[in-house]
Amino acid sequence: MEKDISQAVIRRMPRYYRYLGELLEEGVERISSNDLSSRMKVTASQIRQDLNNFGGFGQQGYGYNVQFLYDEIGKILGLNQTHNIIVIGAGNLGQAITNYVKFEKFGFLITALFDINPKLKGQMVRDIPIYMMDELEEYCAKNRVDIAALTLPKERADATAKYLVQLGIHAIWNFAHVDLDLDSQVVVENVHLSDSLMQLSYNIVKNSD
């Protein structure tokens, strides 16, 4: 696989995957880049360029085989393997994410939540247990953990992330409103909800000008 594919391209891949999944549900077996283009509201040339980063997949005069392209993009995105996720911070957001069953469809399995609030000890979200933070080290020694979702206050996020890395977790899904200062080998994906609201607010102001 090429190493220098821009994050902008990668950011678009889940959207291709989603549209191809919808086409499969509708029983569509093949699609031209023009039809995919008008459906996704991006140019056909952008689609061809994006997919060429991974070797193409299209055939002149045939278009794309939907199932094949769906599977290939799934592999590119690492969805042909399961990922175990633990959620650090079992407050509202942590519980909301844990209840979001749709992630399982793509192979992301939430296996445990952790918190420091003793009232939550032993409680379950769906059938997933909440443990205390002092049980985390033992849990990580006994279970495979691929991703830690950080849904805790920003004040504790960076120290907690560093501790998770010490315990061997190299991928962080960060919801705390702070940039984590971690080793570059650690993969971090941020979901900054406040930033998203501010961008919305900017566009509201711009639109009303």
* Given 93, 120, 136, 140, the residue binding a second copy (CB under 8 A): 93
Task: Give min distance, CB of 110 to a second copy, in A.
Answer: 11
Query: In the range 116-145, which residues lie near a second copy by CB under 8 A?
Result: none
Q: 207 to each of 8, 27, 195, how far by Cα in Å?
A: 25, 39, 18
Q: Work out whether 60 is an interface residue with a second copy (CB under 8 A).
A: no
Pull the structure tokens for residue 178. Answer: 């702070």
Pull the structure tokens for residue 2. Answer: 């090429």
Residue 130's nearest CA partner among 144, 110, 147, 150 is 110
- Phi, psi values for residue 119, rounded to 5°: -65, -25
Q: How far is CA 157 from the centre of its chain?
A: 19
Q: Work out whether 13 is an interface residue with a second copy (CB under 8 A).
A: yes
Q: Work out whether 71 is an interface residue with a second copy (CB under 8 A).
A: no
Which lies closer to a second copy via its Cβ, residue 66 or residue 76?
A: 76
* Given 43, 45, 99, 143, the residue binding a second copy (CB under 8 A): 99
Choose the binding region for a second copy from 10-18, 60-68, 116-124, 128-136 (rule: CB under 8 A): 10-18
Buried b (16+ CB within 10 A) or exposed e, 138-158: ebbeeeebbbbbbbbeeebbb
- Characterize the bridge pairing of strands 147-150 and 124-125: unpaired
Site residues (vs a second copy, CB under 8 A): 1, 3, 7, 10-11, 13-15, 17-18, 41, 76-79, 83, 91-93, 95-97, 99-100, 102-103, 106, 108, 146-147, 170-171, 173, 177-179, 185, 187, 189, 191-207, 209
